[in-house]
Structure 1
Amino acid sequence: MRVILTLRHWQIFLLLLAFYFAIIGLLTLTQFELPEIPENFIFSWITMTVYPLLLGLGLYKYVVSASEKAVKEFKTFIIFCSIWTVAFFCNEMLKSQIGMEDSQQEMHPPSVIVRIVALLAYLKFIQFPSRTINSIELKREAGLWEYVADSFQILCWPLCIWWIQPRINRIHDKKMKTGQA
C-alpha cells in the first residue's frame, strides 16, 4: 500500500495501460473463454476498485484524529467496498442470465435495483479516500463540500490520477520528513 503513495501519476498511468494490455493479451493468447464476463468487465472492476481501496488503506494511517469515528468510517469503507464488489458481479451475472444487451437491459427491474445499489455503494466507497485526503491537508475533519470535488475526480478514473496523485505524493513526502510514516 505504501507503493501507491510513492508512485508518480505518470507511473500509475503507464501501469494501468500495461495492465490493460496484459489482461487483453493473456485472454487472447490463452484462448481463455469467458462467455459471461468479458475482459473489459475484469479490467473495469479492478481499476475502479483497486485505486480507491489502496488510497484509503494507505492514507488511513495519516489521519489526524484516530478516534472511534475514524475507525468506524474505515470499517464502513471496507464494508462498502464489499457491497460494491458483490453488486458489480451480480449485475454482470444478471446481464448474462437475462441474455440482453445493455440497451435492452436498462429497464429490467432486478438489474435496475442492483445498479442503484452498486452506484450508491461505489459513491460511499470513494468518499473515504477523498475525505481522508482533504482531512490530512486541512489537519481537521473535512466537511462534505470540502471533499465532494475529489470524490467526483475519483469517478473520472483514470484522469483523476493526474490531479490527485501529486497531492498524495506531497502528503506522503511531508509525513516521511516528519517521521510519521
Structure 2
Amino acid sequence: MINKFLNAKHWQLFTLMFGIPMLLQIVTMIFMFTDVDSNGNLDQTGVLNTFKLFPIIMFLYTGLLFGWFWSIGIGLQKFIPTDIKMKMKKFKIFFFIPLIYILFLLVIIGTTFYGFSSGNNAVGGIVGKMLFFIIPMHLFSMFCMFYLLYFVSKTIKTTELKRTVAFSDFIGEFFMIWFFPIGIWFIQPRLNKIISEKSTNGNDAKNNA
C-alpha cells in the first residue's frame, strides 16, 4: 500500500482526494435544492438523505490523506542515511491520535444521519456530556496535524538532501503540504522521482554484482 501511494501520479491522488468528493458534494447540493415542494420549500427528509453522503466522503478523504502521510513518513525512511535519526515513535503516536479522533467524530455524525441513534437530541446529549473531552482533543489533534506536516515535509527534504535539515530547508514543503490541493502537484512528482531513482540504483547495483 505504501508503494502505491508513493508511485501514484499527482492527478490520481488529486482526483481521489478532491475531484470525486467535490463531484459528490456538487451532486448532493443539486439534488438538495431541486427537491422542493409546491410551495418552494426544501423537503427536510430529502435534505437529510443527501447529507448521508457526508460521513462517507469524509471517511474516504481522511483515509487517503492519512494513508499518504503514513506512506511518506514510513516509506521514505529506508532512503534516509542510517546516521540520521528521525523520531519515528513520536510520529506514530501523533499520527494515530488525530486519526482516531476524526474517526470518532465521523461515527457520531454517521449515527445521526443513518438513524442508529434516537435522534438529534440523543447525539446532542452525547456531545454535551463529552464536551470537556472533545474540545481539548480537538485542539491537541490540530497540534498533531501540524506535527505531521512538519515530519512529512522534513522526511521528504532529508531524503533528497541526504543530510540533517533545519526547518528553513523544508519550509516550502511544509506549506505545500499544508495547502494540499495545490502542493500535491509539486510534491508527488518529487516522490515519484525519489522512488524511481532508488529503484534504478538498486537494479544497477544488482546487475553490477
TM-score normalised by length of structure 2 = 0.63
Of 49, 66, 71 in structure 2, the residue corresponding to residue 49 of structure 1 is: 66
Relative to structure 1, the CA distance from residue 43 to residue 157 in structure 2 (aligned partners, 3 Å threshold; closer, same or farther) is farther
Bigger shift: residues 112-121 or 145-154: 145-154
Work out which of the residue numbers 84, 88, 97 in structure 2 matches 1:74. 88
Alpha-carbon spacing, 1:65–1:83, altered in 2? closer, same or farther (3 Å): same
Secondary structure at 1:160 match in 2:
helix
Letter in 1 for 2:148: F
Sequence identity of aligned pairs in percent? 25
Report the Cα offset of residue 154 of structure 1: 1.6
The CA distance in 2 between the partners of 1:12 and 1:93, in whole Å, is 25
Alignment size in residue pairs: 165
* TM-score, normalised by the number of residues in structure 1: 0.71
Larger deviation, residues 117-126 vs 82-91: 82-91
Other-structure match for 1:153: 176
Q: How has the CA–CA distance of structure 1 residues 14 and 86 changed in structure 2, closer, same or farther, with 3 Å as cutoff?
A: closer
Q: Contact 1:4–1:58 at 8 Å: present in 2 too?
A: no
Larger radius of gyration: 2
Runs of 5+ consecutive residues of structure 1 not aligned to the other structure: 26-31, 100-104
Matches within 5 A, 1:35-114: 38-67=55-84, 69-70=85-86, 73-92=87-106, 97-98=123-124, 110-114=133-137
Q: 1:41 to 1:3 in 2, by over 3 A?
A: closer
Cα distance in 1 for residues equivalent to 2:138 and 2:5:
29
- Once residues 40 and 6 of structure 1 are traced to their aligned partners in structure 2, the CA distance between those partners, rounded to angstroms, is 24
Tell me, yes or no, if the aligned pair for 1:8 and 1:166 is still in contact at 8 Å: yes
User: Which one of 119, 128, 142 corresponds to residue 151 of structure 2?
Assistant: 128
Please say if 1:12 is aligned against 2:13.
yes
Unaligned stretches of 5+ in structure 2? 28-48, 113-122
For 1:82, the aligned partner's letter is: F
CA RMSD in angstroms comes to 3.5
